[in-house]
């Protein structure tokens, strides 16, 4: 394809006739046009600008013309001047890859690389154009939103994004300092929380691609930190404190999402689904911000999975942990963003899981801001209680550290109950009790941990004049005392043996304005899509509570042994195949009797969430070990 | 290579009071924020620094935040290319119209084809792009070569250099070093004649291309057939 060029003498506007030019001739003509434009003769130059503006439904000749012009310009970048060729440059930088086919895309990115490398003036402009191409043009947003739901739209997205990222890499090869400017541009142009969901998702997808791409050492951490910031921004916008407050403080251990599914044996599957749905609907129904947060978190989870597969999780986790300490920990009662950390830990319990817990412990023990310390111990307690992948021995060791701190603290105190002054102490005590509510059985079933537990100074702390039992949140204290009594572990001061003498005013006092006394960060995630990733690794209260129901059955511990065994480094695999059991697995007979006594609906959870890639193994698989005949 | 210089600077670094415990770290952090940026005061890009804090005393500035002003002497390595300086860098990309190189790993340089002397001819050999010298077969510039070139201009914001290979002592650095003696002794008259011939040829070529702007009617049919073939392909 070629152009007929107007000879300067006759001022005839060129037509689009077919002539073939070699590349060098084309360069020559385009250069002449550019140089002539500087002198004042802008005929061909204006034609070039007009060609750049073609974008609607291009016929093949127009496509070929556009490609040819772009190629010609690529060869002539040294003649371009940022002022004299302003309109041409504006036309080029206004083009969007999403509007064209692959031929034009390729030619355009070649031109961008050439421009960026030719002069420092154009580097920022080229990078900004590429970053603004991360999302489809806003002028036809509804068209693209529809298109992206179809397979051909996804294919187009793949083509565009691949080209954009390889262009960034090529520019970085030629202009080594460009990643520095790129990260600033990407961060500045990040969509705000009010932009439409598909566009935010695509932009974050691009950021994650940069994080895992060739430039990950240079820009990766900035991308992750910016994404976490945006997640927190969305999180904070979800306003549900008032609604949730009433229900949750009545009984933390009474109502959890999972419970709504399990009422009696004959509950229909649809009914369960509806119940859960209505619960979610009530709090987050139609909440666009929640949907955006949900989608972004799922993207992040997928990215973390791929990082884990490529062996990069530790480095990524360092950045996440830093971001967590800076923004999530300090945010006012973050609702869901912390599950990013939870998921990352679940992918690598040995390293990331332990680092997370020890960092939180460190903050609790030695930070200088009381709110951060209370927040950290709330996170730690919730994490130890809820993370299925954390081994019981690790829980025991961490618990001991918290207990030791609390014991050292109250050893030197001789005052009375004073919630405000000793709020960090009370937060620590509440954390201890919360963890024990979930883990007491499993700890007691292992002799070594049982003795460790009994040697801890928990009784001293409980019996101290500072009186944590009076100050901490009543529902937790009640549950803890009930368990302590049932397991005959701790001797409790007499006044608290009867329930109902507990006041809630004190807990409000120590919790402060932020109500950190009611902060349980890893309570079940209410975001629909994200929850699917979290469920396999999550401990629900119902799982634990049902095993406590037989207070006078010593054999009830055998079920916890299985829970134990699965916690000891075995992830629940969805095919229910043969599993080995670790320490603490006792008699099959005792186990069978307790099995019959349990009032647990054998739930077929695989059908609930549409099956999915991860089959959710809840109680049924856990109480049906491979050695029992039924499961074979 | 020119353009690098070492300077001694007397600096005062102002530190936030929270840094009072870790002054050395804070100083290093402040100095590292200068790296790879062009500084007018130093007249160059700071590449490396070596601080030397002389005394333990620092002046406290009056104000809302009592910043500490620490005086120190620092040795700085500066990069300040000026026009007509000779620099060396590694070639990263070659195209018909330009050679792109990277200097010291951080600064990008471009040499446009009008700044490449006629001695060098663009060829594609075995799929790789090369600028080869017409006079000396061994003198080649390809991706990975270290070239020596003259600075034309320096963009201080993005640290971008525009260079030229017009001068005779520019080109592939290794070849120039090994062949310097032979090259300077070469017959300069024969080379001048060659250059003049090439220039005349180029002017003739240009004239021909200008004449081609008017299409020849005879060619139309053949070209239309070519176009049809292309349409079938797309």
Range of A285-294, A299-308, B205-214 with top mean pLDDT: A299-308
Asked if residues A432 and A460 have their Cβ atoms less than 8 Å apart, the reply is no
- Mean pLDDT across chain B, nearest whole number? 82
What does the pLDDT read at residue A243?
40
**Closest to A446 (Cα-Cα) out of A400, A491, A403, A396:** A396
Write down how long chain B is. Answer: 234
Contact A60 B231 (CB under 8 A): yes
Alpha helices by DSSP H, listed for A367-504, are 370-386, 392-411, 423-445, 447-455, 458-463, 468-471, 474-487
In this predicted structure, the answer to whether residue A353 has a pLDDT above a threshold of 60 is yes
Return the structure tokens found at A551. 């207070």
Q: Does residue A77 belong to the interface with chain B, where contact is any CB pair within 8 Å?
A: yes
What does the pLDDT read at residue A363?
95
Q: Residue A413 and residue A429: Cα distance in Å, rounded?
A: 15
Range of A296-305, A324-333, B124-133 with top mean pLDDT: A296-305
Return the structure tokens found at A202. 């695509």
Chain A residues with CB under 8 Å of B223 CB are 18-20
In A, minimum Cα distance to B229 occurs at A1
pLDDT digits (tens, 9 = 90+) for A93-111: 999 999 898 999 999 999 9
Return the structure tokens found at A449. 């941990």
What does the pLDDT read at residue A564?
40
CA triple A148-A151-A156, angle to 5 deg: 65
Chain A residues with CB under 8 Å of B212 CB are 25
Contact A174 B158 (CB under 8 A): no
In this predicted structure, the answer to whether residue A591 has a pLDDT above a threshold of 50 is no
Return the structure tokens found at A230. 């945006």
In this predicted structure, the answer to whether residue A262 has a pLDDT above a threshold of 50 is no
What does the pLDDT read at residue A567?
38
How many Cβ atoms sit within 10 Å of the Cβ of residue A595? 17
In this predicted structure, the answer to whether residue A614 has a pLDDT above a threshold of 80 is no
Report helix, strand or coil for B111.
strand
What does the pLDDT read at residue A252?
56
Report the pLDDT averaged over residues A74-83.
87
Q: Does residue A318 belong to the interface with chain B, where contact is any CB pair within 8 Å?
A: no
pLDDT digits (tens, 9 = 90+) for A439-496: 998 999 898 988 888 888 888 888 888 888 888 888 888 888 888 888 888 877 666 5
Contact B108 A1 (CB under 8 A): no
Range of A139-143, A150-154, A255-259 with top mean pLDDT: A150-154
Report the pLDDT averaged over residues B191-205.
63
Contact B212 A25 (CB under 8 A): yes
Buried-exposed string A568-579: b where 16+ CB fall within 10 A, e elsewhere: beeebebebeeb
Percentage of the residues of chain B whose pLDDT score is greater than 70: 76
Contacting A with CB below 8 Å, chain B residues are: 36, 92-93, 95-98, 100, 102, 105-108, 110, 112-114, 155, 157-160, 162, 209, 212-215, 223-224, 226-227, 230-231, 234
Give the pLDDT band of residue A601 (cuts 50, 70, 90).
Answer: very low
What does the pLDDT read at residue A588?
43
Report the pLDDT averaged over residues A404-422.
86
- Select from A18, A174, A180 the Cβ nearest to the Cβ of B227: A18
Asked if residues A419 and A506 have their Cβ atoms less than 8 Å apart, the reply is yes
- Select from A24, A174, A177 the Cβ nearest to the Cβ of B100: A174
In this predicted structure, the answer to whether residue A389 has a pLDDT above a threshold of 70 is yes
**Closest to B107 (Cα-Cα) out of B154, B32, B149, B160:** B160
What does the pLDDT read at residue A548?
63
Residue A153's beta-bridge partner residues? none
pLDDT digits (tens, 9 = 90+) for A30-52: 888 888 888 888 888 888 888 88
Return the structure tokens found at B32. 């590292």
- Select from A1, A114, A119 the Cβ nearest to the Cβ of B160: A119
In this predicted structure, the answer to whether residue A609 has a pLDDT above a threshold of 60 is no
Contact A25 B100 (CB under 8 A): no
What does the pLDDT read at residue A579?
32
Asked if residues A576 and A570 have their Cβ atoms less than 8 Å apart, the reply is no
**Closest to A403 (Cα-Cα) out of A435, A366, A361, A432:** A432
How far is the first Cα of chain A from the last one, in angstroms, to the nearest whole number?
Answer: 70
pLDDT digits (tens, 9 = 90+) for A122-142: 999 999 999 999 999 988 888
What does the pLDDT read at residue A594?
41
**Element holding B142 (H helix, E strand):** strand B140-142
Q: Cβ-count burial of A563 within 10 angstroms (0-12 exposed, 13-18 middle, 19+ buried)? A: buried
Q: Residue A375 and residue A317: Cα distance in Å, rounded?
A: 20
In this predicted structure, the answer to whether residue A623 has a pLDDT above a threshold of 50 is no
Residue B112's beta-bridge partner residues? B98
What does the pLDDT read at residue B47?
92
Give the pLDDT band of residue A322 (cuts 50, 70, 90).
Answer: very high
Of A295-304, A593-602, B57-66, which gets the smallest average pLDDT? A593-602
Alpha helices by DSSP H, listed for A76-196, are 86-93, 102-118, 120-132, 141-147, 151-174, 178-188
Give the pLDDT band of residue B178 (cuts 50, 70, 90).
Answer: confident
pTM of the model: 0.76
Contacts of B78 (CB under 8 A, 6+ apart): B4, B5, B6, B7, B42, B43, B44, B45, B46, B47
Contact B93 A117 (CB under 8 A): yes
How many Cβ atoms sit within 10 Å of the Cβ of residue A388? 19
What does the pLDDT read at residue A598?
40
Q: How many CB pairs under 8 A join A and B?
A: 82
Asked if residues A356 and A394 have their Cβ atoms less than 8 Å apart, the reply is no
More confident residue, A11 or A544: A544
What does the pLDDT read at residue B94?
92
How many Cβ atoms sit within 10 Å of the Cβ of residue A592? 13
Q: Residue A135 and residue A137: Cα distance in Å, rounded?
A: 6
Q: Residue A292 and residue A288: Cα distance in Å, rounded?
A: 6
CA triple A405-A407-A409, angle to 5 deg: 70
- Mean pLDDT across chain A, nearest whole number? 77
Q: Cβ-count burial of A218 within 10 angstroms (0-12 exposed, 13-18 middle, 19+ buried)? A: middle
Q: Residue A56 and residue A403: Cα distance in Å, rounded?
A: 69
Of A88-102, A332-346, A588-602, B39-53, which gets the smallest average pLDDT? A588-602
Give the pLDDT band of residue A23 (cuts 50, 70, 90).
Answer: low
Contact B160 A175 (CB under 8 A): yes
Distance from CA of A135 to the nearest CA of B (A): 27
Give the pLDDT band of residue B148 (cuts 50, 70, 90).
Answer: very high
Query: Which residue matches tokens 């590694």?
Result: B90
Give the pLDDT band of residue A13 (cuts 50, 70, 90).
Answer: very low
Distance from CA of A97 to the nearest CA of B (A): 19
Contact B223 A24 (CB under 8 A): no
Please state, in angstroms and as integers, the Cα–Cα distance from residue B32 to each residue in A30, B27, B49, following that order: 45, 9, 8
In A, minimum Cα distance to B90 occurs at A174
Of A191-205, A270-284, A423-437, which gets the smallest average pLDDT? A270-284
In this predicted structure, the answer to whether residue A261 has a pLDDT above a threshold of 50 is no
What does the pLDDT read at residue A458?
87
* Mutant choice from A30, A118, A167, A180 vs B, greatest count of B C-beta within 10 A: A118
Give the pLDDT band of residue A250 (cuts 50, 70, 90).
Answer: very low
- Select from B102, B113, B162 the Cβ nearest to the Cβ of A176: B102
What does the pLDDT read at residue A20?
57
Query: Which residue matches tokens 């509804």?
Result: A142
pLDDT digits (tens, 9 = 90+) for A217-240: 899 999 999 999 999 999 888 876
Of A113-127, A252-266, A328-342, B151-165, which gets the smallest average pLDDT? A252-266
């Amino acid at each position: 394809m070629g152009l007929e060029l107007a000879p300067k003498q006759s001022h005839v506007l060129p037509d689009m006739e077919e002539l073939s030019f070699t590349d060098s001739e084309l360069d020559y003509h385009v250069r002449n046009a550019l140089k002539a434009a500087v002198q004042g003769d802008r005929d061909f130059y204006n034609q070039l600008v007009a060609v750049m503006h073609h974008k609607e439904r291009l016929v093949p000749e127009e496509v070929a013309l556009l490609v040819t012009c772009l190629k010609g310009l690529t060869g002539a970048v040294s003649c371009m001047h940022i002022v004299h060729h302003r309109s041409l440059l504006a036309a080029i930088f206004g083009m969007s890859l999403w509007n064209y086919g692959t031929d034009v895309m390729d030619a355009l990115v070649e031109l961008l690389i050439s421009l960026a490398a030719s002069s420092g003036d154009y580097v920022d402009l080229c990078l900004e154009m590429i970053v603004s191409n991360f999302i489809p043009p806003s002028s036809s947003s509804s068209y693209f939103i529809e298109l992206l739901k179809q397979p051909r739209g996804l294919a187009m997205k793949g083509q565009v994004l691949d080209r954009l990222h390889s262009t960034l890499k090529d520019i970085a090869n030629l202009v080594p300092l460009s990643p520095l400017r790129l990260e600033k541009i990407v961060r500045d142009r990040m969509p705000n929380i009010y932009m439409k969901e598909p566009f935010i998702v695509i932009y974050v997808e691009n950021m994650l691609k940069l994080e895992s791409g060739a430039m990950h050492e240079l820009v990766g951490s900035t991308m992750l930190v910016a994404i976490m910031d945006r997640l927190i921004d969305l999180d904070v916008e979800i306003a549900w404190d008032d609604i949730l407050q009433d229900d949750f403080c009545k009984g933390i251990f009474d109502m959890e999402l999972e419970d709504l599914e399990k009422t009696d044996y004959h509950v229909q599957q649809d009914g369960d689904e509806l119940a859960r749905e209505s619960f979610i609907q009530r709090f987050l129904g139609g909440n666009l911000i929640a949907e955006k947060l949900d989608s972004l978190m799922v993207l992040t989870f997928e990215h973390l999975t791929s990082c884990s597969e490529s062996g990069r999780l530790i480095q990524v986790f360092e950045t996440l942990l830093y971001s967590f300490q800076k923004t999530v920990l300090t945010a006012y009662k973050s609702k869901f963003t912390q599950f990013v950390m939870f998921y990352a830990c679940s992918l690598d319990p040995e390293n990331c899981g332990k680092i997370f817990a020890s960092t939180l412990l460190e903050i609790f023990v030695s930070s200088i801001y009381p709110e951060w310390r209370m927040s950290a111990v709330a996170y730690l307690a919730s994490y130890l209680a809820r993370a299925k992948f954390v081994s019981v021995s690790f829980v025991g060791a961490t618990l001991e550290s918290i207990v030791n701190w609390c014991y050292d603290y109250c050893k030197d105190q001789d005052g009375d109950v004073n919630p405000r002054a000793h709020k960090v102490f009370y937060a620590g005590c509440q954390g201890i009790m919360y963890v024990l509510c979930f883990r007491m059985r499993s700890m007691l079933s292992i002799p070594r941990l049982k003795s460790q537990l009994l040697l801890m100074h928990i009784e001293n702390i409980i019996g101290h004049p500072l009186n944590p039992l009076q100050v901490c949140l009543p529902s937790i204290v009640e549950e803890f005392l009930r368990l302590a009594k049932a397991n005959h572990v701790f001797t409790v001061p007499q006044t608290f043996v009867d329930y109902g003498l507990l006041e809630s005013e004190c807990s409000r006092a120590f919790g402060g304005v932020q109500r950190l006394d009611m902060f349980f960060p890893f309570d079940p995630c209410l975001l629909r899509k994200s929850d699917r990733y979290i469920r396999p690794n999550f401990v629900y209260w119902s799982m634990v509570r049902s095993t406590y129901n037989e207070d006078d059955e010593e054999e009830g511990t055998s079920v916890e042994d299985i829970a134990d065994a699965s916690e000891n480094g075995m992830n629940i695999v969805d095919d229910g195949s043969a599993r080995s059991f670790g320490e603490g697995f006792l008699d099959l007979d005792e186990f069978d009797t307790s099995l019959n006594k349990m009032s647990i609906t054998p739930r077929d959870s695989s059908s609930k969430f549409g099956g999915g890639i991860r089959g959710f193994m809840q109680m049924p698989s856990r109480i049906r070990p491979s050695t029992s005949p039924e499961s074979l | 290579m020119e353009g690098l210089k070492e300077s001694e600077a007397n600096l005062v670094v102002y530190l936030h009071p929270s840094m009072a415990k870790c002054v050395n770290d804070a100083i290093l952090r402040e100095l590292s924020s200068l790296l790879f940026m062009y500084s007018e005061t130093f007249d160059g890009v700071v590449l490396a620094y070596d601080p030397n804090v002389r005394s333990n005393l620092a002046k406290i500035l009056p104000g809302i935040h009592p910043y500490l002003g620490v005086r120190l002497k620092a040795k700085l390595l500066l990069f300040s290319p000026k026009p007509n300086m000779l620099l060396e860098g590694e070639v990263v990309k070659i195209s018909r119209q330009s050679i792109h190189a990277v200097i010291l790993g951080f600064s990008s340089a471009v040499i446009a084809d009008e700044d490449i002397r006629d001695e060098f001819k663009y060829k594609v050999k075995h799929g790789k792009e090369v600028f080869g010298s017409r006079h000396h077969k061994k003198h080649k510039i390809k991706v990975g070569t270290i070239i020596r070139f003259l600075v034309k201009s320096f963009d201080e914001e993005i640290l971008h250099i525009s260079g030229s290979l017009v001068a005779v002592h520019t080109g592939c650095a290794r070849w120039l070093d090994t062949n310097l003696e032979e090259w300077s002794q070469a017959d300069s008259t024969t080379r001048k004649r060659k250059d003049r011939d090439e220039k005349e040829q180029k002017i003739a070529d240009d004239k021909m291309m200008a004449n081609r702007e008017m299409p020849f009617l005879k060619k139309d049919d053949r070209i239309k057939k070519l176009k049809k073939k292309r349409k079938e392909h797309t």
